[in-house]
Amino acid sequence: MRIAITSEENKGLEGLVCQHFGRSPYFVVVDIEKDKIAQVETIGNPFYQKHNPGDVPAFVAERGVNALVSGGMGKRAINFFEQYGIKVATGAFGTVAQSVEKYLQGSFTVAEPCSDSVEHEASGHHH
């Protein structure tokens, strides 16, 4: 299984989870084998400064990711990820390592649009 976690920093597992996936400068991609972390790679988000709807989910999907964990994201982004067959978990905070552990323990179950994203989309701005 491959999990991508939004991150504020280029610090791998020690980076802080980014609270909004569309504004995440990095993704930490973690390969899980037998419920253990097998490999970790930090990837810069090429769409960090500017992106069209769907750019970031496509970028993540191209990396063979099965699940994405973030502090929050909008409904439209959640729908894009679901179209790629990528499970989305929101509500993450703390370090990337803590969020991976919580994900593996089943602490994240359903992705829900964050309130900022709902307001953002309602105002006509889309990320």
Task: Identify the band that residue 21 occupies on the pLDDT scale cut at 50, 70 and 90.
Answer: confident
* Close Cβ partners of 86 (under 8 Å, ≥ 6 residues apart): 57, 60, 61, 65, 66, 67, 68
| Torsion, CA 69, CA 75, CA 77, CA 80, rounded to 10 | 110
The mean pLDDT value for 21-26 works out to 89
pLDDT bin (cut points 50, 70, 90) of residue 110 is low
Burial of 109: CB neighbours in 10 Å, binned 0-12, 13-18, 19+: exposed
Give the model's pLDDT for residue 32: 96
Whether the per-residue pLDDT at 120 is higher than 50: the answer is no
Domain 2-37+52-122 fold: Nucleotidyltransferase; domain 5 (3.30.420)
Q: For position 99, what pLDDT does the model report?
A: 95
Nearest CA-CA partner of 66 in 86, 83, 50? 86
Give the pLDDT confidence of 42-72 residue by residue, as tens digits. Answer: 999 999 888 788 899 999 999 999 999 999 9
Q: What is the percent of the chain where pLDDT is above 70? A: 85
> In the chain, where are the structural domains located?
2-37+52-122
Distance CA 12, CA 18 (A): 13
Residue 30 tokens, joined:
């973690």
